[in-house]
Chain A
Amino acid sequence: SQTIHQWPATLVQPVGSPLSLECTVEGTSNPNLYWYRQAAGRGLQLLFYSVGIGQISSEVPQNLSASRPQDRQFILSSKKLLLSDSGFYLCAGLRASDNEQFFGPGTRLTVL
């Protein structure tokens, strides 16, 4: 079965500090991968998606970036965090057979 791993589970960072969140996927090859953010009391916002190594599409302008250095690895980064970057960050894959989106456990980021 396909599984998404994310770490850390929680993170507290000061404003202006860098960020690197890693996501890895098991049980499939060449998956479509996604980064979502869910702010408190809000819906899921798609930040980036990737259809393959080195291929990144950005859905919203922001101070975040994403990279896909390997087939099963998707990284979310920032050079300088803002207070507004606080939220629940979810990495997800897409099962091609039925378009089901499956999620990792998420990282809860608090920027102070």
Chain B
Amino acid sequence: RKEVEQDPGPFNVPEGATVAFNCTYSNSASQSFFWYRQDCRKEPKLLMSVYSSGNEDGRFTAQLNRASQYISLLIRDSKLSDSATYLCVVKGSSGYALNFGKGTSLLVTP
């Protein structure tokens, strides 16, 4: 089983729609969780960290369910500029490496 699994999509949604991405991780000892955004042919950039209590940043909401080892990202009122690949990232309690999911592709259309 892969460390971090995501639905690759693509998700094609109209502007203004709400879209949700899910991610599962296999290591129950994982301690840090993130969502990154990667535009085409660019490096990944941190979108937001994911906290146990859930957190919101504008139109973006991230949730963590430790019992189910599940992370989600909700995007409300989608914009054309939200089109990108969203990477789920998990770090264990030990070691130095982060585990990246393969990403979920989002295309927001006019």
Contacts and interface: CB of A to CB of B under 8 A. Distances in A.
B96 A105 contact: no
Nearest to B91: A99
A108 B98 contact: no
B89 interface: yes
Contacts of A102: 46
B76 interface: no
**A49, A103, A106 — which one has the most chain B CB atoms within 10 A of its CB?**
A103
A83 interface: no
Interface in A15-55: 32, 34, 36, 42-44, 46, 49, 51
Interface string A80-112: 000000001010001000111111111010000
Q: How big is the A interface, by class?
A: 20 to 34
B32 interface: yes
Given A43-B102, A51-B96, A59-B97, 18 more contacts: A43-B100, A43-B101, A44-B87, A46-B97, A49-B97, A88-B41, A90-B44, A94-B98, A99-B32, A99-B91, A99-B98, A103-B43, A103-B44, A103-B45, A105-B42, A106-B42, A106-B43, A108-B41
Interface of B: 31-32, 34, 36, 41-46, 49, 87, 89, 91, 96-98, 100-103
